[in-house]
């Protein structure tokens, strides 16, 4: 008789963080059931999860707002909990198309929560973001810092956090973990899965790796006149596999304890843009051409986590350093120079 592993509904599981978390879930003895509408991901990610783990997760192309579709999935898979990654994450597009972002993130989450409630699935992990803190004044940022997002994407995350808080108040039998990610980067060590941005990358790491691999001519460094160690922006980069391990730790707590908790997932260390360029050049052996230009509107000088609550509550500490983040991002980039589409 084959052993039956607890099934976990993973919305957005074909995406960047979701696919890495599916690997960590399988390796921790859980069975992911992925629903993803593939609006920002590729189905090949599912085969790559299988290539890494030897296990193929169930996959359904389905929108989280499709109640009937989700019910059918959940009839076949009696999931004990949900990890909810699905949503739109592009900050610039959330400014130009706010309704699209609010509909996908807020309306989508509401619909998903109703479907889950109707099926009695009351354990949930939610992907929030350090962006809910906006321009926090004190570093490192603890979870008690004020919630003051500065763009529609950040507001959508803060709204969902509020909805989840109200839901737990009304239904104390629920267990919800809100995870506020800092800057997830890197890839699985195998190079089978990684970040695959469509078009010109908005974020620093994928842009730097595309310059190193020759896909883009040079990086534009957005400002070198901040009040930081070298004038460029400082962020808390966390390896995506550490982030994935943080989800497993949060899931285990949710399976044992009712109520809502919100924790930062970061390293507590800040790195500047110039330090990232330097680290990437060292790891890849390739020059990363760059030009300093003006500041990007909406950017803050410095953002890094106080990771102590995650350590105390979840016994979670990020293990992988900046060299590993660059090495694994570079391995993924070299093996998949144009992302999933090249194979
Ligand atoms: P991603 O775009 O790679 O993954 C999101 C996945 O959700 C994609 O596969 C997409 O196709 C799917 N999706 C979107 N809308 C959907 C819908 N309505 N129904 C079903 N599937 C849908 O992004 P990611 O980087 O893996 O981020 C995952 C989550 O973490 C998102 O909620 C994002 O806002 C949050 N987050 C990401 C970062 C980051 O830097 N990557 C930082 C903080 C928070
Ligand atoms: C951005 C989002 C944030 C989101 C996070 C996900 C904005 C304003 N914020 O954060 O909501 O949660 O991504 O990881 O978009 N940089 C350059 N050149 C580039 C790209 C970035 O110099 O081409 C600099 C930025 O100015 C910043 C640092 O690199 O100092 C990191 O930028 P990025 O990777 O975009 O992350 P955040 O701005 O922290």
The per-residue pLDDT for 342 is 57
Neighbours of 286 (CB within 10 A): 15
Question: What is the predicted pLDDT for the residue at 340?
Answer: 94
Q: What predicted TM-score, i.e. pTM, was given to this entire model? A: 0.98
- Please name which of 140, 173, 190, 192 lies closest in space to residue 303, comparing C-alpha atoms: 140
Query: Cα separation of 250 and 298, whole Å?
Result: 31
DSSP 193: S
Give me the pLDDT at residue 135, please. Answer: 85
**Which atom of ligand 2 has the smallest separation from the CA of 129?**
12
On the question of a cis peptide bond just before residue 58, with omega within 30 degrees of 0, the verdict is no
Pocket of ligand 1 (CB under 6 A): 11-12, 14-18, 36-41, 63-65, 85-89, 104, 108, 127, 129, 181, 184
> Both tokens of residue 77?
């898979």
Nearest-CA residue for ligand 2 atom 21 is: 204
Q: What is the pLDDT of residue 110?
A: 98
Find the DSSP H helices in 65-151: 67-76, 91-96, 98-102, 108-118
Q: Give, as one character, the DSSP assignment of residue 6.
A: P
Mutate-to-test residue for ligand 2 from 152, 195, 235, highest number of ligand atoms within 8 A of CB: 235
Please list, in sequence order, all residues whose beta carbon lies within 8 angstroms of the beta carbon of residue 186, skipping any fewer than 6 positions away. 194, 205, 239, 240, 241, 320, 324, 325, 326, 328, 329
CA of 10 from ligand 1 middle (Å) equals 11
Ligand 2 centre to CA of 204 (Å) is 6
- Intervals of the chain under pLDDT 70: 1-3, 342-343
Distance 299 CA to ligand 2 centre (A): 7
Question: What is the reported pLDDT for 343?
Answer: 45
The H or E element that residue 192 is part of is: none
Residue of the CA atom closest to atom 6 of ligand 1: 12
Q: Which atom of ligand 2 is nearest to the CA of 234?
A: 30
- Residue 251 has what pLDDT? 98
Say what the pLDDT of residue 3 is: 67
């Amino acid at each position: 008789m084959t052993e039956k592993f607890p099934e976990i509904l993973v919305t957005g599981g074909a995406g960047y963080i979701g696919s890495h978390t599916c690997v960590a879930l399988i390796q921790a003895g859980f069975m992911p059931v992925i629903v993803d509408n593939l609006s920002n991901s590729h189905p090949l990610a599912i085969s790559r999860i299988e290539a890494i783990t030897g296990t193929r997760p169930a996959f359904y192309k389905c929108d989280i707002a499709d109640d009937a579709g989700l019910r059918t999935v959940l009839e076949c898979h009696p999931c004990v909990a949900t990890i909810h990654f699905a949503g739109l994450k592009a900050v610039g597009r959330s400014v130009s198309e706010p309704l699209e972002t609010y509909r996908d993130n807020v309306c989508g989450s509401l619909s998903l929560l109703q479907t889950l409630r109707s099926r009695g699935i009351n354990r949930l992990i939610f992907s929030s973001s350090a962006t809910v803190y906006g321009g926090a004044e004190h570093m490192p940022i603890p979870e008690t810092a004020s919630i003051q997002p500065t763009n529609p994407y950040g507001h959508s995350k803060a709204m969902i956090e509020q909805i989840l808080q109200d839901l737990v108040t009304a239904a104390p039998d629920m267990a919800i973990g809100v995870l506020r990610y800092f800057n997830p980067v890197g890839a699985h060590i195998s190079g089978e899965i990684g970040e695959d941005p469509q078009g010109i990358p908005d974020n620093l790491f994928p842009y730097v790796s595309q310059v190193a691999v020759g896909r883009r001519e040079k990086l534009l460094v957005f400002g070198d006149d901040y009040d930081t160690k070298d004038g460029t922006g400082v962020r808390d980069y966390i390896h995506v596999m550490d982030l994935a391990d943080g989800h497993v730790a949060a899931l285990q707590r949710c399976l044992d304890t009712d109520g809502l908790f919100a924790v930062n997932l970061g390293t507590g260390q800040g790195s500047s843009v110039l330090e990232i360029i330097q680290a990437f050049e060292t790891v890849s052996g390739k020059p990363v051409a760059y030009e300093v230009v003006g500041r990007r509107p909406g950017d803050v000088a410095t953002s890094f986590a106080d990771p102590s609550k995650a350590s105390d509550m979840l016994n979670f500490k990020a293990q992988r350093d900046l060299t590993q983040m660059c090495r694994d991002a570079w391995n993924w980039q070299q093996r998949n120079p144009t992302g999933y589409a090249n194979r």
